[in-house]
Structure formats: C-alpha cells, structure tokens
Amino acid sequence: MKRIAIVGGAGRMGQALAVGLGAVEGFTVAALVDVHEPRELFAAAYKSSLDELDAKTVDVVVDFSTPEGVVSSSSWCAKNAVALVIGTTGLSDAQRTAVEQAATKTGVVMASNFAIGEVLSERFAAMAAPYFDRVEIIELHHDKKVDAPSGTSLTTARVIAQARKAAGRATPVDPTLRHTVVGARGAQVDGVVVHSVRLPGLVAHQEILFGGPGEGLTIRHDSFDRQSFVQGVALAVRAVTSTPGLTIGIGSLLD
C-alpha cells in the first residue's frame, strides 16, 4: 500500500488528485497538506504543513502547490527519507537546486505535465522536428494559471530544439522584420516560438504546429479535466520509491 500526502491539497489540482489517486488500487491518500483547509478531505487527515505530519505514516509526498512550497517539501522529504513527486512549475534556478539537493537523499520525480497524451505528443514532436523548416507552439490554459509560458511548453520547445540540433538542423530565423506591437510574435524558447493563451473555461491544452514546403503538421493535446493527470501521477508514485535520484519527466517511466 502506497500512503500519499498531497501538498496543495486544497487547490483544484490537489482535490482532483485526492479523488483520482484515492481510487487507485494499492493507494491511500493519508493526508492533504495546505495552509487552507480543503473543501473536501475524502477521508484523509488535514495538516497545515508537512511538519505536522508523522513521516512514518507516509511513503510519498505529491506536491502541486507553489515553487516556495516545493522547496519546503524537498527539505522535509530529504530530512525524513520520504519520496517526492513534483508537478509544480515555474521554479527558479535556486528552487530547482533545492530539489536537486533533496534528490541526493531520496527519490524525486519532477514533471511539467503528467498527462500520458501530452508526454506522447512530445515524443511525436521530437520525431517530426528534423523534417520541418519551422515550428511554433501555442499553449492554452485556464485564467487562474500564474506562470507563462507553461512548464509543458518550455519542455516541449527544448525537446524540439534538441531533436533539431541532433539532426544538424539550424535554428530557423524568424522572418518577421517589423514588429508593430512588441511581443506579437510570442516568446523565443531555444529558438522555438511559444504563444501563451489564458482564458476561463480552459484546463490545459497545447498545439505544436510544424510547417514545411507545401504542408503542415499539427500535434494537439487537450486535458479537458484534471483527472487526465492522475494516471501519470500514479505512475510516478509507483516508480519513485524504487528510483533513486532525480527523474525529470515521466517519459522514461513509460518505457
């Protein structure tokens, strides 16, 4: 039995994970951790911080809180030898270093997206990248998301750039010479243009648009509900206790 504590348990993602992970055979959600008491506890205990939790009662901490919360979770998990799964994005270099240091003491899986379809779309994009002249990414999220561009789009852009580099393809030069409005062409991430959309009604969506002479290829993934992330988080929870060090993304866990 995997006993799980969810940090950020009062948030939309935390509540969705409590439902989804609690329904997985062999899992039990032991605690929801948040500065705010969750709307629903789903039979889990409520703790305002991990420091209130007996480390002997939990096997894996799942953190979908804030970058600052990830640093606290990393420290607590390293001190108590509890495995950690991180889905929070927008970490600074210093915060990422804290995660890397924790991974020298316990298993850590950190991913920008846990939807299986999104992970596969990154693979497909890496396959396509050497064969098209140009590529741009449009990522679309709900209007409560505080960081832009999304961690998923950053990961995807870097995967594409690496695939192009490995194939000897040069970074395409943006043909736009006159910017009537600064920023209209999006942001450059390792030579890949990324556009961010924030609208109510959305959850998490991404389009990868490739273009070449006379043809185009669009790879799109849609998360219509936060339950789409549960399967990937469950995969990470199963793997992290037996996987030492830091694992970035869940792609390697699908192999």
Of the candidates 164, 171, 153, the one whose C-alpha atom is nearest the C-alpha of residue 221 is 153
DSSP state of 122: H
Pair 143, 103: CB distance under 8 Å? no
CA distance 239 to 247: 10
| Catalytic annotation present for 2 | no
| Catalytic annotation present for 144 | no
Handedness of CA 250, 35, 203, 135 (dihedral sign): negative
> Cα–chain-centroid distance for residue 150?
9
CA distance 125 to 113: 15
Residue from 36, 47, 56, 141 carrying the catalytic annotation: 141
CA distance 162 to 142: 29
How far are the Cα atoms of 28, 146, 155, 253 from residue 119, in angstroms, in the given order?
26, 22, 10, 11
Q: At what angle do helices 116-128 and 230-240 cross, to 10 degrees?
A: 90
Residue from 47, 142, 144, 145 carrying the catalytic annotation: 145
Catalytic sites, residue numbers: 141, 145
